[in-house]
Amino acid sequence: MGCTIVQIDDNFHHEETNPIPLEPSKTVMILAEIARKQIEDFAKAQGFHSVGFAASEEARTYPQFCEWLDLGYAASMGYLEKRRKAYQNPSGVLAGCRTVVLLTLPYQGHCGTNSVIKLGRKRRLGPLSNPTFGSYAAAKVDYHVWIRRKLKPLVRELRTMFPRCMTRAVVDTAPILERHFANQSGLGWIGKNTMLLNRQIGSYFFLCAILTQADIAGNQVPRAKDHCGTCTACLDACPTGAFASPYVLDANRCISYWTIEHRGQIPQAVRPSLGPWIFGCDICQMVCPWNQRINAVIPEEIKPFEVQEKSDCSHWLSLDQDRFDNLYRDTPFWRTGLLSMQRNALIVAANLREPSAFPWIQKFTNHPNQDLVELAHWAIEEYRSGTNQEK
């Protein structure tokens, strides 16, 4: 197995009377199977929905990832290009990695998912008249923090089993093509909206991984079959046409990119397309048929928290830096930053002509940040002209 196994389970006993000798390869396979079962049981006890195992190898989708970068679809996310080579193989993150353990953890989907309008085989959203944000950020604490806390006991368990093996947990920040390996492990397929889809829990879930030098992946399971079929709901619903083609996202046209990743001013031509989205966007998930029939158990720790406040443009415009840090240091909003959140709130308030936000917009004409001053004047003109995202 590449590493010495010290302990599997106190309840596992080998029969001492007339033991039948096993070939070394069969012993390894049995021990790996026991380890997988113990890890899966332990993970589900921690609240994870599903667990998959994939051999650590060069990602089959790595050439497509490189082509995606070369086409400029990563927009200004230069960190992806800087770490391009590391994405080729998990060993770029953990030297000598043999196995990738993939885990899913459902979160509460956007409330608008249940209001999708069906027209024959077509699906569309009704008008979103109130400010809103990506549902993954609805919990009280940043999912990175919470999931790492959940993964620590699993990492300890693996280190107990394989003390000579290095093991590392990764949550959405290390250069690894998690969705590829999740597909390889049978956890789901990559949909036309580029999200990983699972037949039981749709796409409203977090995906994380544990990398280990222990060789416990076992025999390769069949890759999860693509169940998108002829459906194009996600492609049709995207208000910005962010999908260059099925399965290919152009971040330059993605609302989530502009409201979360982009720093600095948002071009005037892009602003109306943000519609009501203060942070992130769930449209391509909301219309997905696989998200209409889920009944996942949501852990208490990541249930939505103070959603109304986070959806309020005036709330964001009223914050100073100290208050923002105090409220949102351990949330996804903190990485985006106060100035960017206020930038987004100014745009959304103008798009929807939110009456309660107008006094705050007027105050921003004297803000020390010149980008926000310019945006405030633009927003006031939008209010006066009566334009919004539906015109």
> Tens digits of per-residue pLDDT, 322-334?
999 999 999 999 9
Cα–Cα separations (whole angstroms), residue 389 to 128, 234, 282, 338: 10, 19, 17, 24
* CB 365 within 8 Å of CB 372: no
Q: So which residues are the catalytic ones?
A: 172
**Domain-embedded: residue 18:** no
Are 280 and 321 within one domain?
Answer: no
Are 303 and 316 within one domain?
Answer: no
Which whole number is the average pLDDT over 118-143? 88
Cα–Cα nearest to 327, from 343, 315, 339, 314 = 315
- For residue 223, the 8-state DSSP code is P
Are 56 and 114 within one domain?
Answer: yes
Are 307 and 326 within one domain?
Answer: no
Position 11 scores a pLDDT of 37
Are 176 and 145 within one domain?
Answer: yes
Position 3 scores a pLDDT of 63
Tell me which of 283, 311, 339 is where a domain ends: 311
Are 135 and 262 within one domain?
Answer: yes
Which whole number is the average pLDDT over 9-37? 60
**Domain-embedded: residue 16:** no
Are 325 and 278 within one domain?
Answer: no
Residue 65 has pLDDT above 70, yes or no: yes
**Domain-embedded: residue 14:** no
**Domain-embedded: residue 177:** yes
Residue 220 has pLDDT above 80, yes or no: no
Are 301 and 370 within one domain?
Answer: no
Tens of pLDDT, residue by residue over 330-373, are: 999 999 999 999 999 999 999 999 999 999 999 999 999 999 99
**Domain-embedded: residue 299:** yes
Which whole number is the average pLDDT over 144-162? 92
Cα–Cα separations (whole angstroms), residue 380 to 181, 241, 357: 48, 27, 11
Position 222 scores a pLDDT of 78
Q: Which residues contact 257 (CB under 8 A, 6 or more apart)?
A: 75, 77, 251
Are 165 and 290 within one domain?
Answer: yes
> What is the count of structural domains for the chain?
2
- For residue 258, the 8-state DSSP code is I
**Domain-embedded: residue 144:** yes
Tell me which of 311, 337, 366 is where a domain ends: 311
**Domain-embedded: residue 8:** no
Tell me which of 280, 311, 342 is where a domain ends: 311
**Domain-embedded: residue 133:** yes
Is pTM beyond 0.85? Reply is yes
Distance separating alpha carbons of residues 108 and 206, to the nearest angstrom: 11
Task: List the single range of 5-19, 28-42, 64-78 with lowest mean pLDDT.
Answer: 5-19
Q: What is the dihedral of CA 7, 11, 16, 20, to 10 degrees?
A: -80
**Residue 9 pLDDT grade (very low, low, confident, very high; cuts 50, 70, 90):** very low
Cα–Cα separations (whole angstroms), residue 312 to 315, 336, 352: 5, 17, 12
Tens of pLDDT, residue by residue over 227-264, are: 999 999 999 999 999 999 999 999 999 999 999 999 99
SS3 218: coil
Are 304 and 218 within one domain?
Answer: yes
Are 84 and 171 within one domain?
Answer: yes
Are 284 and 244 within one domain?
Answer: yes
Tens of pLDDT, residue by residue over 13-23, are: 333 444 444 45
Boundaries of domain holding 132: 25-311
Residue 388 structure tokens = 């919004």
Distance separating alpha carbons of residues 97 and 100, to the nearest angstrom: 8
Residue 168 has pLDDT above 50, yes or no: yes
